[in-house]
Amino acid sequence: MFRRDHAKFICDVSELAGLFHDTASMEDFLQKITAMVTHHMDCEVCSIYLYYEDLNELVLKATQGLNPSFVGQIKLKVGEGLTGLAFKEKRPICEGQVKNNPNSRFFQGLGEERFESLLAVPILRGQVGIGVMVIQSEKRNYFFIDDIQILRAITSQLATTLETARLLITLNDQKQKKPQPLADLKLVKGRSGSSGVAFAEAIVMDGLLTDFEQLARLSKPLTEGDFHRAVEDTEKQLQQLQKQIENDLFDVSGFIFTAQILMLKDKGFLDAILALIRQGINPPQAVVGVVGEYVHKFSAIADSYLRDKIYDVKDVGRHLLENMTGLKQHHSDLEDRIVIARELLPSDTIKLFSQKVKGIILLSGGVTSHVSILSRSLNIPLVVADEPGLLSISEGTRILLDAVIGYIHINPLEDTVQKIFDREELHKDLDHLKKSIRSRPHTKDGVAIKLMANINLLGDMKAANEFKTDGIGLYRSEFPFLIRSSFPSEEEQYLIYRRLVEGMPGKEVTLRTLDVGGDKILSYYDYGHEENPFLGLRSIRFSLKYKDVFVTQLRAMLRAGHEANMRIMFPMISSVDEFQQAKGIVQECVYDLENEKQKICHPQLGAMVELPSAVDIINEIAEEADFLSIGTNDLVQYLLAVDRTNERVANLYLPQHPSVLRALKKIVDAAIQHRKDVSICGDMATDPKFLPFLLGIGVRTFSVDARYLPKLHESLSNIILSQTEPLALELLKQSKIERISQLMGIET
Ligand code: PEP
Ligand code: MG
């Protein structure tokens, strides 16, 4: 005869599960279960812990017999305490004298100390862990084998119901904007895509928006005329903003504010507001209502990029309200914020810059992705961190973004903030000193090295000149294309390229032809779906397929280079045939322009070496091309089959891999043998740890983002060139990444 009426109990539970849908609160439902279990098992305590995958923790969700104020507060790691252990090992744990068990874990104030016996049974749906049910008794050795069986039966019966309960609790938590489970997260270690430090409130681009309705509530009664005036004023302001950004970012300004200006011209949008005003609704409230409707509609869009158009609508609404009411909000939604987004396009980055964001946290896109590269040019600190929990950070959470080392501090202590800003002060002084470097870059034993700048935006030229660069080693011509809403005309391109050569009088300027595709998508060009965009219609392949686009660009370049020291290079060359084809088109352009009596240059033509296929035939390419430029960002990606924008394989993106080192040696040897100029223009050149090797194999020209120039200058002055060749030979003999890393002083 059982002490407890098990059969009846199981029946009661199934009845309770049936009542689940009528239960108003999930917490109540769980609480009812714990009360019933303690009653029928004739014990004092029953607790339910649910497992949250994003936290990798068990959270106490209901208890009968323990301190109820600890519900939601007690969090156990998988394997922690007897409860965590039962979950981890997916087996019941039955302990008659808990205090003697070394795995026991007590929380002060929870009131567990007086209970001698414990039975913890994992709640499983198949092999999927949902949580743990724990019962406790004051009496020693109280639970037996039959108790284990019955609790197992109960938990398996409840598993799917509890799983639903967990989901609903999570959704409700989100709706009520309770602190997210992430509240406990203090530090996320990501990787720096663009260096710098920012301390500001967070805003999640995926999330909903800040409240601007209060502007409308504060407003006095206004008229339809006030609304029309606000529309006019807003349009003028947006045009003004557009102009300003065109001045600051001449090359990539595109039509950043077009979407918003269009909104103001949209009859549907304006009529909807007017209809409400004519029904007697105060104009500011009418604006809030219609903007709200649009926000709602956009929120339902699955495409995250389109969904983010919410920010345009909200921004227009904010401008209208401010102009109508005369009341100013201190911030737009994004101003002075650290933006957290799953992904961004380069054009978003420009817009965020214009909206004065303080920093960016991206969940996807590696540190050599083009959004990272662009952020560097715009001086926006950016960290890439593959931590989905960041998207559930509640708006307004204070974030310290240490993009110097790639750390994200959530709600940091004052001390931490102070320390990091103090560190930055020190660096500023160093930067200042480096700016005053007078001599040309050279090694410790006096060999001159050419340090060139990579230019992404015209704005980068200022720093490049301040750091006394020897010229431009790589101009990424695609950025103006990426930002605009259509292909820029020959004239528009000519003006940009001309500014580049005029900004570097007498110095060598190397322009790269369009390198789109991969992570650089033209919004106005329909690529169709590409399963593997990095292996798709990229770079020179695009230019050769769309000859008119290529010809327009080449004509603009050839004209801009008139009486200047300008060179042109083609990205992602994979064969001699491809290079010759591109060269042939340049020759056609030269011929046409000369016939038109245009003033042009006759530039050297180079190949970027960034594909394994080019490495194998490098001798033939070196013979054909006037110069070589090694794009290590892509070369590493393609040699190692590691997507440079995929954080999940970032640990495998290793420029020190022996295949990369040997490929580099082969390329440089070919260039030397054919007496052709060779430079490194990928990010590998920015890391001083690789510098001795690169010098050792004969590289004498480096091209890096301007901000790295002082560091490189300094590193070079500490290297004795004559020692680098034996070191490089030693490294080339190695077959293991680990050993090479050791020799190079790289932590793995
Ligand atoms: C490279 O691949 O190393 C390079 C310089 O080109 P990008 O980073 O623009 O692809
Ligand atoms: Mg490249």
Q: What is the CATH number of the domain that holds 558?
A: 3.20.20.60
Mutate to test the pocket of ligand 1, among 367, 608, 634 (most ligand atoms within 8 A of CB): 634
What's the gap in Å between 537 CA and the centre of ligand 1? 16
What's the gap in Å between 634 CA and the centre of ligand 1? 6
The reported pLDDT for the residue numbered 716 is: 93
**Same-domain pairing of 194 and 220:** no
**Same-domain pairing of 671 and 538:** yes
Task: For residue 679, give the ligand nearest its CA.
Answer: 1
**Same-domain pairing of 134 and 63:** yes
pLDDT tens profile 619-672: 999 999 999 999 999 999 999 999 888 878 888 999 999 999 999 999 999 999
Task: For residue 369, give the ligand nearest its CA.
Answer: 1
pLDDT tens profile 440-452: 889 999 999 999 9
64 in helix, strand or coil?
A: strand
Evaluate whether residue 723 is within a structural domain: yes
pLDDT for residue 745 is more than 90:
yes
Evaluate whether residue 381 is within a structural domain: yes
Evaluate whether residue 181 is within a structural domain: no
Which of 118-127, 430-439, 446-455, 640-649 holds the top average pLDDT? 446-455
**Same-domain pairing of 593 and 719:** yes
**Which among 691, 197, 251 is positioned nearest to 444, based on CA atoms?**
691
The reported pLDDT for the residue numbered 647 is: 77
Residue nearest to atom 4 of ligand 1 (CA): 631
CA torsion through residues 716, 717, 720, 722, sign: positive
CA of 682, closest atom in ligand 1: 3
Q: What is the pTM of this model?
A: 0.62
The reported pLDDT for the residue numbered 12 is: 58
**Same-domain pairing of 516 and 455:** yes
CA of 681, closest atom in ligand 1: 5
As a whole number of angstroms, the distance between CA 609 and CA 205 comes to 37
Placement of tokens 């890439």 in the chain: 384
Mutate to test the pocket of ligand 1, among 514, 681, 686, 705 (most ligand atoms within 8 A of CB): 681
The last residue of one of the domains, among 270, 303, 325, is: 325
**Same-domain pairing of 564 and 464:** yes
The last residue of one of the domains, among 302, 325, 348, is: 325
Evaluate whether residue 1 is within a structural domain: no
Pocket of ligand 1 (CB under 6 A): 474, 476, 515, 610, 631-634, 681-682
CATH no. for residue 200?
3.50.30.10
Residue nearest to atom 6 of ligand 1 (CA): 631
Q: Which residue type sits at 377?
A: S
What's the gap in Å between 369 CA and the centre of ligand 1? 9
The reported pLDDT for the residue numbered 545 is: 93
Residue nearest to atom 1 of ligand 1 (CA): 631
Q: Dig out the tokens for 344 from the structure.
A: 């961004």
Residue 366 CB neighbour total at 10 angstroms: 24
Higher-pLDDT residue of 171, 459 = 459
CA of 474, closest atom in ligand 1: 5
As a whole number of angstroms, the distance between CA 63 and CA 75 comes to 14
Residue nearest to atom 9 of ligand 1 (CA): 476
pLDDT for residue 525 is more than 90:
no
What's the gap in Å between 354 CA and the centre of ligand 2? 27
How many structural domains comprise the chain? Answer: 4
Residue 223 region by backbone torsions, left for phi larger than 0, else alpha for psi between -120 and 50, else beta: beta
58 in helix, strand or coil?
A: strand
The last residue of one of the domains, among 264, 293, 325, is: 325
Supply the range of the domain harboring residue 73: 6-176
CA 675 centroid distance within chain: 41
Evaluate whether residue 139 is within a structural domain: yes
Residue 81 region by backbone torsions, left for phi larger than 0, else alpha for psi between -120 and 50, else beta: left
**Same-domain pairing of 160 and 227:** no
Evaluate whether residue 572 is within a structural domain: yes
Evaluate whether residue 29 is within a structural domain: yes
Task: For residue 655, give the ligand nearest its CA.
Answer: 1
**Same-domain pairing of 319 and 336:** no
Evaluate whether residue 559 is within a structural domain: yes
CA distances from 280 to 76, 251, 273, 277, 523 (A): 56, 47, 11, 5, 41
pLDDT for residue 430 is more than 60:
no
Average pLDDT for 176-198? 70
**Same-domain pairing of 398 and 264:** no
**Same-domain pairing of 317 and 336:** no
Q: Dig out the tokens for 475 from the structure.
A: 């101009």
Task: For residue 573, give the ligand nearest its CA.
Answer: 2
As a whole number of angstroms, the distance between CA 143 and CA 158 comes to 21
370 carries an active-site annotation = yes
**Same-domain pairing of 533 and 461:** yes
Mutate to test the pocket of ligand 1, among 573, 610, 699, 708 (most ligand atoms within 8 A of CB): 610
What's the gap in Å between 547 CA and the centre of ligand 2? 21
pLDDT tens profile 232-262: 999 888 887 777 777 777 776 555 566 677 7
Q: Of 6, 40, 319, 370, which one is the catalytic site residue?
A: 370
**Same-domain pairing of 167 and 197:** no
Query: C-alpha angle 104/105/107, rounded to 5°?
Result: 150
DSSP 342-353: S---HHHHHHHH
Average pLDDT for 346-370? 79
The strand pair at 450-455 and 407-410 is best described as unpaired
What's the gap in Å between 682 CA and the centre of ligand 2? 7
As a whole number of angstroms, the distance between CA 725 and CA 747 comes to 23
**Segment holding 260, helix H or strand E:** helix 258-265
What's the gap in Å between 622 CA and the centre of ligand 2? 18
Question: Are the C-beta atoms of residues 288 and 213 closer than 8 Å to each other?
Answer: yes
Determine the longest span between alpha carbons in the chain, in angstroms: 109
Q: How confident is the model at residue 207 (pLDDT cuts 50, 70, 90)?
A: very low
CA distances from 6 to 48, 344, 606, 743 (A): 19, 57, 82, 68
